[in-house]
Every structure is written in structure tokens, then in C-alpha cells.
Structure 1
């Protein structure tokens, strides 16, 4: 049952990370710390959103599908250090964006593009006490880079350097292996970046500005509810109101280039079942509340609902998990720069995770 619990945690990771709050690309799970023995895993995912809208300023003109498809990957390694300690290292991509408004459609932002990329390496240590409680923590080293082109805003462009900064992770967990129960609460600190930028447009030149990849709090849980059946899920809060991009050369009258009116809490819940020694399956649902506030033109979505299916095949020391997830992307109205109205949008994500114990 304990081994089955780890399989189901992998299912959630394979199907829940795409298109949640803000520009998030990784849910920053610490599930790898609870794998048995020495373990390595490699994950690949692809998410294909279909996001389009219209502007009241240009009747009949559509933005086209402005949210590009993207790939994601992660690599993790875990090893025990004696009977009480474990070490894990995780490479992933915490945040990202790929925006491309089609040119020639008559939409006011036609031809505008934006790209935000990141990478991070996280090192974690876990210590187990005698009462089924453990504590863990470590450091995250994160690199970010951004590019923006807004032809309709006086030809504004932005290109930043690759800036790398440190943050930290702390958490506490409780387990009851007899019923495959585990609760883990993890705090991820904010990481402050100072970006050097080259800008063209109304106020051309070189500048530097600060932006904060926000703090977050994760609650991950699972418990057996019947023979070979597990309930599992997560609650993730992110302080997105702290994420502001406001370069010196962006026209002040337009406000911030990127900001968020509210923080986000994303819920995921799933039920998994082991069918035999080799196969297990799960279904997951996800929810993020729509708050009704206007959004930025580089991220026109407000909340989500999702459903996912996953399956894991285990053979000796290898387990392979595949998942697919459908996301109903919440309707949004963008800020007054364009006041685009985005409705009836959705996306499909697929992922695969390969884990090996040795």
C-alpha cells in the first residue's frame, strides 16, 4: 500500500501542473522526498491552450489564438542518508509565458509577442523523527529571462538579461504508512530578481528593474480510503499580487506591463486505484476560482476547471506514468489598454513521468 501511495502521487504530478494561476508552469511538489530508496525520475509535458478574444474597439476583429503551445520538463533525484535523512535535487521550470497575437486581423494588439522563461534547481534535505513527523528544507536557485514586443504601443520592445537568484524552501510532513496517509505542508519563499533591460519605444535606452517571483504555500495530502484505493490532492496558494513587471521605459500612463489583481489558490483532488501488481489508474479534478477582476493583455484568463486521467505501469524497479488533462480556462476581460473579452477558451495537457528505483 505504501508503494502504491507513491505511484498515485506521481499521477497527480503528471496531470496537474499545466496552466494554473498566473504564469505558473510547476507546482513545486516535494513528493520525490517520500520515494523509497535511491530514486530518479524524468518528466515531460506539453500543454496546448486555445485562447482567443475580441475587442469592443474593433468590432469583428479577433485576437486569434494568442497563447502558444509549450513544453515542460523536470528531472529529480533522491537518495537516503542513513535511516533518518534523505536528500533530493529537482530541476524544473517554475514560471513561463509564450504570447503571440496574430498580425493582420485588425485586433489592436495584432503582432504583439511576449516570452517569459525560467529554470530552477532545488536542493532539499529531510529529517524523520520517531513520531511519523518529518521536517525538510533547502535552497532554490532560479534563473529568469523576458522578451516583449508591442508594435501598437509606439513600437515598444523589451529584452532582459538572464538573472539568477536564491530562494528557500521549508516544510513539515506527517505520515501513517499503514493506511498510506501523508500530509505535507511546504512554504516556498519569494525570489527577487533585478533585471537589466534594453528597451525601445517611447523612452528607449537601458534600464534595470526589480520583479518578484512570488512566495507560495503547498498542502499535499493522501490517504487510503478502501483496499487498493487512495484519495489524494493538493491546495496551492501563490501570492500573485506581488508579481509585477514595470520596466522604466514602459509608458507610465498604461500602468504596469504585467500585474495581477488577486492572489490565486488552486485545488486538485483525485482518486486512484491499483488494479493489479502492474497497473494503477486515477482520475483528478482541479479548480481555481474566477475573481472577476480585469487581467493583463499578456495573460487573459481568470480561473479554471479541469479533469484529468492518468495510469501507471510498474515493472520491477521502473514505473511509467502517463496522463492527460482537459482545462476549461476561465473567461476574462483585459485592462483598458484594449479591453479584450476572452470567452469559451480551453486547453489540453499531456505528460509522461518515468521513475527508476535503484
Structure 2
């Protein structure tokens, strides 16, 4: 039944967190490989509320995205096992429509990451385990912000702000502990994912000229707690808690800061905690299913115009078909996104983003060998 546990989380609506960086592949039985395809379809729009603006609607500014994740876990002698995991842990795709008269119309931004993680686990005869490994992660980013500009007295009055950050790769690490009791299908794992620091080569252009510089960026440290236990024949209770230190994450290119009196292009003012609880049921040897509820904590203050989402509530459903060594899981999750207020310069609030939502769809194929 384990394939149903996290499938609906492979496409994630919380901020730029996209994969949850789970190490639970290590806890699959025997040699095992899986591939996950996930799609998120968001509907996020806001309305100007400041009297200095025009009460215009932004239109839907968050684009659909698709993720491909995968991994392989293998047993080794003397209590050891290992895994290799490929995922895209963080990302963003922003595209404010044109011809709306909204102050941010035409603004676009992308953030792309990719990682490969190698993990090694040792399990004692008492089913207590320790694990750790190395993660190599790449990061790149681009942005076009037409409303960040300047008027008379600059070389290119009215020119939009534009930035491109070249792909950079750096190393981080993963450490964790776990415990299992197979007789009752119980598993608990606590995983720490380190922060990863980058010096991203950045090219900027705007009304005041062009600049090549280096932008420091840190993808945040996080802690995952994953658990499950059987509660009756064919029934399983499971869940997870993920804490992410988003205060570590900031993108503040040099010229952007000059144009905005020191503001960052993207930043967060606190950590978040995402909690999931679920119930799974095995109907027969072939079919099992699960239902989940997830709560992501909101942050205080104003949110970025490039990420006007503030927490969420989500409900997910999944079903798994098992045939021999194959497991195929299909899942869907509905997100009620938290309301957010944004600011622009000294105008605060500038816009309200309310009653937004998203749908996630996931297909996961697992193979035991």
C-alpha cells in the first residue's frame, strides 16, 4: 500500500516547494524503482486595492507545470541499502497576462532546479536505521518586471527591468534516522536536508543600464518527519510534517536592489510547516486507495508579487493497482490557496489575491525487482 502514501504530493502548490525532498524511497522493501509524473494546474489572480492604482484584475498569473521525478532503491549485504533519487525540488513559473492594465502586467519569472541525491542506509537487527548522503543541485532563474523602471534622467527611461541568472550547481547533504516494525506496517523517518548556497552569475538590464554581477542565493534547509502504522487489517494511517526555513531563501540582484531601494526580487519572512494526515485501505490483493488532508501554514505580512500565495488547505485521493512486481498509482489533490496581500514600492497593500485554487494530478509507476 505504500505507493499511495505520497503520490498526490508530487505536484505541490506551496510557494516554490515542489518535491518535498522525501527520502522514503529508502524504506521500500527489496530492490525497487519508481517514476512519477505530476502536473499542477493553478488558478491564481488578484485585484488592485490601492487608491493609487486602478482596481484592475491581474488575470491568472500562475502557469501550469509538469514534473518528472524518479529513483531506484537497492539492497546490499550486512544491513545496508542505498538509493539514487532524481527530482526538481524548487521552482516557479509566473506569467502576468498583457492588456489587463494591472500594474504587473507582462511580468514573467521562472526558477528552475534539478537535483540528484545518493543515499546510504544502515539498518540494525532491531529495525533502527541511520541514513545519509550527498545531493548535487542546480539552480537558474530569469525575470522580466516592466513596472520596475525609471523616468527622466536615466540612460533608458521607461525600459523594463530584466535579469537572467545562469545555471549554477552546488552540493548539499542529507542525514536521517528511522524505525520500522513490519508486523504492523509501522515506519517512522526523520530527515534533515541541508541548505545549499550558490553564487549565481547574473546579467541585468533596466532603465539605468546593464550590469553583470553575482547574486548569492540559498535554497533552504528543511526537516521532514514521515510516519505510518497499520491500525486494523487492511487499514493504514500515515502522515508527514515538513518544516522549511524560507527565511534563508532570497533573490536580490544588485541592480534590482538599486532600483527598489534595497528590496529583494523574491524573499520570505518566515519558515513554514506543511502537515499531512491520511488513511489508506487495501481492498484486495490488487486494489488499494487513500485519502489525505494537508495544511500549509501561512506567513505574516505582504507576499511577493511573483508568489502571491499564502498557505493552503488540500484534500487528496489516490488509488493503486498492483500486478506482480508493478504498482501503478493515480492521484489527484485539490488546493484551496490562502489569501495574500502584495505591495509595490511604498504602496501597501497594492493587491489582494483571494479565493484562488489549484488541482494536482499524479501518475506513479513502481517496479520491484
* 1:335 aligned partner: 343
Instruction: Give 1:107 shift.
Output: 0.3
In structure 1, which of residues 342, 347, 358 is the aligned counterpart of residue 358 of structure 2? Answer: 347
Instruction: Give 1:203 shift.
Output: 4.9
Compute the RMSD of aligned alpha carbons. Answer: 1.2
Aligned to 1:249, the other structure's residue is in SS state: helix
In the alignment of these two chains, the number of paired residues is 351
In structure 2, which of residues 234, 237, 240 is the aligned counterpart of residue 231 of structure 1? Answer: 237
Q: Which runs of 5+ in 1 are unaligned?
A: 1-6
User: What TM-score, normalized to structure 1?
Assistant: 0.96
Q: Deviation digits for residues 270-289 of structure 1, max 9, x if unmatched? A: 00000000000000010012
In structure 2, which of residues 294, 299, 317 is the aligned counterpart of residue 291 of structure 1? Answer: 299
* Counterparts of 1:93 and 1:209, CA distance in 2: 21
* 1:36 aligned partner: 29
Show the 5 A alignment for 1:74-223. 74-154=69-149, 155-201=160-206, 202-223=208-229
Are 2:18 and 1:12 aligned?
A: no
Instruction: Give 1:17 shift.
Output: 3.7
User: What TM-score, normalized to structure 2?
Assistant: 0.93
Instruction: Give 1:59 shift.
Output: 3.4
Are 2:319 and 1:311 aligned?
A: yes
Q: Deviation digits for residues 161-213 of structure 1, max 9, x if unmatched? A: 11000000000001111111111000000000110011001352100011100
Check 1:136–1:20 CA distance in 2 against 1; reply closer, same or farther (3 A cut): farther
In structure 2, which of residues 11, 15, 20 is the aligned counterpart of residue 22 of structure 1? Answer: 15
Report if aligned partners of 2:340, 2:353 keep a CA contact under 8 Å in 1. Answer: yes
* Counterparts of 2:38 and 2:255, CA distance in 1: 36
Report if aligned partners of 2:13, 2:335 keep a CA contact under 8 Å in 1. Answer: no
Aligned to 1:231, the other structure's residue is in SS state: strand
Instruction: Give 1:18 shift.
Output: 3.1
* Counterparts of 1:304 and 1:199, CA distance in 2: 34
Instruction: Give 1:302 shift.
Output: 0.6
Instruction: Give 1:12 shift.
Output: 2.8
Report if aligned partners of 2:10, 2:38 keep a CA contact under 8 Å in 1. Answer: no
* Counterparts of 1:83 and 1:323, CA distance in 2: 36
Residue range with higher mean Cα deviation, 18-27 or 129-138: 18-27
Q: Which runs of 5+ in 2 are unaligned?
A: 150-159
